[in-house]
Structure 1
């Protein structure tokens, strides 16, 4: 890391990404609202959600392997521009007729293909630019920028959707992609010189296997990946169930339901900022389980509240959000530190796939459980199980000692 200008390069990169996240959030929310207003169909919304994550989940490892084969700077630019170009198809189709529902869903799916390439690339590029000791802090800043982008994007979508057409929102998305691509092209990303052994021509399947082997050799990281999948199965439905807790269990208003969502986002933003400034708990083998347990305790206590406990629930939502960056950031940084750079694309691709597949599994389990016994009881049970996952982290020796031998 001889480049003393790494901060300028990193913040330039992520300022562009912030514009991209903002504009993409505006369009994504607008498309969901368009489907809602047009169809009033829960099935269509489910299909749209499936289209948004399934390609990323299925292609994650393959896309990550291809990322490791190619110039990562080029991949980021092409992926951003590809997503924008796909969005422009909405404008072309809407010129002649109303947007068909199937076409909107198809666009969401194809955009997800671009994301499958973009997400592991930027995670793999970061350790080439940032000193190892700063990776956790940078993960905090990254989390903050993404949270701000999603929060502001959702708010802007609410303001702009009644005023602007979908076509105009597409042009915002294209502008965000162009800004993001411009910042990537403007910075210098260190060239990844691959070892001679990796230059031997191999098949895509062999390279995927090598990536898995590289992950498997890091026992602590390998264990954390599967811990993360179990955590995501329990955690991912919580946001989806916030409205049910607010409206049905606490008998609140739509304003109160929005406040719970905002409180969670504020917690995430605050956690990201604190992580960026302080760098998190130094002993990550202890810190990660502690933050998982904090999340679990907040969720579990929420399930024990009386029907008059909405404001306590709102405070607990802040605590839940606060713990997210302190879990995600250190896990990401550890992977960037311990996995050789030439394997990072496929490792982050695999990690993204596992997380994406865990989400629908969790939603399927939670929806059936919450409907039959009550959403508050699901909060309590899932919180207890998340605390159990934290305890499991402490039991696994390779996780406890994960900071002992950082490469």
Structure 2
């Protein structure tokens, strides 16, 4: 695809707006977590809130992705942002007149996730329309960097605002962020895909099936999506168990738990910057598998550490964050490169759906067994599983030949 010379302007304009929206969403996310924690003091409610937030994307992913392929992607992005803003605004207005109940927070998390299930495949499908193919991985690295900075800043801002501002006020920041992202996106002229314009719209279910068949025919992408689902099933509970291993095994405080979150984000930031400059191995499959193996080594070492080894664990959190950037960035870029643009919405919708199912499934499994085995032993088990997954992945010819 030929790109105009102003692709950098388009990419930076869109992602400047998205970075502000991501920042305000991170602030709101932390504020809602603290609100649920303070109001209920229930780990079950927090776990249920996580599942509620993942569920729409898991169920609607492929359906939403198919609609994205049908629609104008720029309008889809703006519409999803404004939908999320409207939902947040409703919560803010309610909070002006009454105390926000727990059930309403859960409903808002669920409905906002519907907007996200459309927005994520839309922006991933837009990127290859404006970014040259050989720059996709580096741009994914820049995106990881922006998101890491946004998350770290979001945690810090939420820590400042939550004690002094009402929840409604914090929600309004998210509304402003979503509207700002819509405005910046509206400034960018996004080229359409001629093939998609000529494609006759038939039946939604048939289009969904067609999208799945496209994924299945590309053996490398299909294999890495399946590997990614297994990886998220193994890894997602580990991230959720950071506070537990910090407070329990390492005998730390809430301050130490915060340090692990910050160091993990620093690792993601460093990983995103390195990926943006280097771009990873020429073979995307090797980069993804290496990241999984590196994550497995870091998780295993974390579980082996004695109770006095917190600061080594904090360093290993940096390694884990670094590995996440080198896993997710090339994964997205590979799909953008290998799949025809007219199917990207469906493919990213399917990818989001599969990983969204894997995350809560992993959380449920860890909830059943982590306490019985010991959190540090669960880390060792999951770390070995990640390393084994990386080794097995390299046995597949489709993974080794992803660049062919």
TM superposition score normalised by structure 2: 0.97
Correspondence for 2:315: 315
- Is residue 2:33 matched to residue 1:44? no
Aligned equivalents of 1:313, 1:201: Cα separation in 2: 53
**d(CA) in 2 for partners of 1:193 and 1:201?**
14
> Counterpart of 1:232?
232
Question: Partners in 1 of 2:26 and 2:301 — Cα distance?
Answer: 31
- Partner of 2:163, secondary structure, is coil
Task: Give runs of aligned pairs for residues 103-182 of structure 1, distance below 5 A.
Answer: 103-182=104-183
Pairwise mapping of residues 388-399 of structure 1 onto structure 2 (< 5 A)?
A: 388-399=388-399
- Residues 1:102 and 2:103 aligned together: yes
Uncovered stretches (5+) of structure 2, i.e. residues with no partner: none
Counterparts of 2:121 and 2:297, CA distance in 1: 31
Match of 1:87 in 2: 88
- Point out the more displaced range, 66-75 or 166-175: 166-175
Cα offset, 1:195, TM superposition? 5.4
Residues 34 and 285 from structure 1, CA distance in 2 versus in 1: closer, same or farther, beyond 3 angstroms? closer
CA distance in 2, matches of 1:56, 1:341: 21
Aligned-partner SS, 2:195: coil
2:287 matched to 1:287? yes
For residues 271-304 of structure 1, the C-alpha deviation after alignment (integer angstroms, 9 at most, x for no partner) is 0011011111222232222221111011111111
Cross-structure match for 1:6: 7
Moved over 3 A (4+): none
1:61 aligns with 2:55: no
d(CA) in 2 for partners of 1:282 and 1:102?
Answer: 48
Q: How many residues align?
A: 403
What's 2:330 paired with? 330
What's the CA shift string for 1:239-289, capped at 9, x where partnerless?
A: 111111111111122222221221111001100011011111222232222
1:356 matched to 2:356: yes
Counterpart of 1:247 in structure 2 is 247
Q: State the 1:127 CA deviation.
A: 0.4
Distance 1:2 1:372 in 2: 56
Q: Which runs of 5+ in 1 are unaligned?
A: none
Contact 2:3–2:130 (8 Å) recurs in 1: no
Please identify, of 179-188 and 23-32, the stretch whose mean Cα deviation from structure 2 is larger. Answer: 23-32
| 1:142-193 deviation line (CA, Å, top 9, x unaligned) | 1111111111111111100111112211221111112101110001111111
**Counterpart Cα distance in 2 of 1:12 and 1:176:** 14
TM-score, normalization by structure 1 = 0.96
Matched with 1:274 is: 274
How far apart in 2 are the matches of 1:291 and 1:88?
A: 39
SS in structure 1 opposite 2:122? helix
Structure 2 partner of 1:220: 220
- SS for the counterpart of 1:98 is coil
Note if contact 2:3-2:132 (Cα within 8 Å) is conserved in structure 1.
no
CA displacement at 1:376 relative to structure 2: 0.7
CA RMSD of aligned residues (A): 1.3
Does structure 1 residue 194 correspond to structure 2 residue 210? Answer: no
C-alpha distance in 2 between matches for 1:371 and 1:342: 46
C-alpha distance in 1, partners of 2:3/2:42? 55
User: Quick one: distance in 1 between partners of 2:201 and 2:259?
Assistant: 55
Q: Matched residues in 1 for 2:328 and 2:105: separation?
A: 31
2:84 and 2:112 in contact (8 A); partners too: yes
**Deviation of residue 37 (structure 1)?**
1.8
Q: What does residue 303 of structure 1 align with?
A: 303
Distance in 1, matches of 2:201 and 2:85, equals 33
CA contact (8 A) 2:54 2:360 kept: no
Q: Is the partner of 2:100 in helix, strand or coil?
A: coil
Q: Could you say what secondary structure the match of 1:143 adopts?
A: helix
